[in-house]
Structure 1
Amino acid sequence: MDGVIVAGGNGSGNAFNQLSYPLGFSVDEAGTLYIADWNNSRIVEWKQEAKFGTVVAGDNGRGDRNDQFHYVTDVIVDKNRNCLYICDLENKRIVEWSRRGATSGKTIIKGAMCYGFTMDEDGFLYICDFERHEVRKWKIGDTQGTLVAGGKGMGDELDQLNCPVSVAVDQNYSVYVSDQRNHRVVKWIACMDRGKLVAGDGKVGKTLSQLWNPQKILVDQFGTIIIADSGNNRVIRWKKDAKEGTIVVGGRRKDSEEHQLDSPIGLS
C-alpha cells in the first residue's frame, strides 16, 4: 500500500512548502491539517490538496513571548472554542491560540514539559510530562492537574514511566500511555495506582511482539491501539488482549518511497 504526500515533501526548511522535523498534527472537520513544525517553532495549516501551507501560530523566532514558541511538539484543534492548543516544549507551557486570525496566544498551563497530549470528549486535556515521567489531566482554567499515570519517578515498574510521549483516552476514561524509553504501551484504569502492559514487552526489539521507541498512539472503541513504532519504521495495529501487533504500513528499511516510513512520529 502506497501513501500520498499531503504536506511538505520538499526537503527540510522554513519555506511555505516545507517543514522541518514535523511532530504532532491534528485534522479539523474540513480535513485541514494543523502541523507542529518542531524545528521551525511554528504551527502550519495545510489545506487538502494545497501545495503550500500557511503559518497560523509562531514563526517569530524561538523565544518565550506570547507570539513565539521554543520547539512545538503537538497541537490539538478545539472546534467548540475555535482554537488550537499547542505544546511549547522548552517553555514548559500549553498555549491557547485562537483560529480567528490571532497573532499571539495565551498560556493556559505552566510547568509541564509537554511532548504529547490529547483531549477527551468533555474537554479535559491529558498531558505527557516528559521531564516528570507522568501524565496529568487538566481542566482548562485550572492551575493544578490531576495525576492519572506515573508520577513515581523514572523507571520500568508498572507504576512508573520513562519519558511518556503520547496519551490516548477511551470511552471509559482509561488512559493509554506511549512509554517511549520502556518500549511499551501501558493502560491506566481510573483510580488505579499502576498500569497494565497492553503492547510491547518492555524490551526494544523488531518482532511483532515488541516496540522500539513508540511515539503517537490512538485507541478506538474496541480497545485496538494504533502505534507509531518509530524505531522500527512502521505503524502497528494492536488489538485488545493480543500478544503481538499487525503491521499497517512500513516495517522495512528507512526509505523515502511512498510505501515506506522513516521514524514515524505523528498519527491522527
Structure 2
Amino acid sequence: MVRWEREKVLKIKQELVKFKNDPNILPKNASKANIFCILENSLALSLAVFIPNIPANARWTEKGITVAGGNGSGNALNQLKGPYGLCVDDDQNIYIADTSNHRIVQWKAGAASGQVIAGGNGPGNGTEQLNTPFDVIIDKE
C-alpha cells in the first residue's frame, strides 16, 4: 500500500513538473478548477490549478450567498466540519465531502439543512462508514 501511494505521488509530481514547464498542455476545453491532492509523509498538500474564463471587466457582488453550512462548525445537518471536496449535479444539488465528520452530505438547492447520503457513523471501514473523505464525484448513470 505504501509503495503504491509513493508511486502515485511520484506520478503526480511528474505531471506537475510537466505543467510547470509548459502550461499549455492542458486541454483547450478545461474551464473548471482541477485540484491535485498529494499525500506524503502524513502531510496533505493541496495544489490548485485555476483556469478561469472571467472577463477582465467582470463585476462582483459584494455579498455572497451561503448555499451549505453557515451555522458554525459542527456535526448537525445544518453544519459542516472540514468541508473539502464538492460536486454539483444537473439538478443543482451540492454534494460535499464533510471530511472531519466522515460523511458525504447532499444539499438540495435552497435547503436549510443537508442530508447524509454516505458515512456519518464515525471513521472506519465498515459498510456504513467513511474515513476522512476528501472528495466526491457523482455518476449520472
TM range (shorter): 0.5 to 0.7
Unaligned 5+ segments in structure 1 are 20-26, 39-70, 84-95, 97-105, 107-138, 223-268
- Compute the displacement of 1:141 (Å): 2.6
Once the two structures are superposed, residues 217-252 of structure 1 have per-residue CA deviations (whole angstroms, 9 ceiling, x without a partner) of: 111324xxxxxxxxxxxxxxxxxxxxxxxxxxxxxx
State the identity as a percent.
Answer: 26
Aligned equivalent of 1:204, options 120, 123, 127? 123
Look up the match of 1:16.
17
Going from structure 1 to structure 2, the CA distance change for 1:29 and 1:162 (only over 3 Å counts) comes to same
Higher helix content, 1 or 2: 2
Look up the match of 1:75.
49
Alpha carbons 1:28, 1:77 under 8 Å: kept? no
Amino acid across the alignment from 1:9:
L
Going from structure 1 to structure 2, the CA distance change for 1:207 and 1:143 (only over 3 Å counts) comes to same
Runs of 4+ in 1 over 4 A off after TM superposition: 10-13, 34-38
CA distance in 1, matches of 2:138, 2:59: 23
The 5 Å alignment of 1:242-253 reads none
Higher strand content, 1 or 2: 1
Alpha carbons 2:93, 2:107 under 8 Å: kept? yes
Going from structure 1 to structure 2, the CA distance change for 1:157 and 1:12 (only over 3 Å counts) comes to same
Unaligned 5+ segments in structure 2 are 21-25, 39-44
Q: Does 1:169 align with 2:106?
A: no
The 5 Å alignment of 1:147-166 reads 147-166=66-85
The 5 Å alignment of 1:83-162 reads 141-162=60-81
Amino acid across the alignment from 1:165:
Y
Aligned equivalent of 1:187, options 106, 113, 128? 106
CA distance in 2, matches of 1:30, 1:180: 30
CA distance in 2, matches of 1:200, 1:73: 26
Question: What's the C-alpha RMSD, in Å, of the aligned pairs?
Answer: 3.9
- How many residues are matched? 119
- Compute the displacement of 1:167 (Å): 1.2
Once the two structures are superposed, residues 129-151 of structure 1 have per-residue CA deviations (whole angstroms, 9 ceiling, x without a partner) of: xxxxxxxxxx9733322101001
Which has the higher relative contact order, 1 or 2, with Cα contacts under 8 A spaced 6 or more apart?
Answer: 2
Alpha carbons 2:121, 2:128 under 8 Å: kept? no
CA distance in 2, matches of 1:11, 1:173: 31
Once the two structures are superposed, residues 2-47 of structure 1 have per-residue CA deviations (whole angstroms, 9 ceiling, x without a partner) of: x9xxx8627979x936x9xxxxxxx63579xx66588xxxxxxxxx
Look up the match of 2:41.
none
- Compute the displacement of 1:173 (Å): 0.5
> What's the TM-score, normalizing by structure 1?
0.36
Amino acid across the alignment from 2:49:
V
Amino acid across the alignment from 2:89:
D
Amino acid across the alignment from 2:94:
V
- Compute the displacement of 1:74 (Å): 2.8
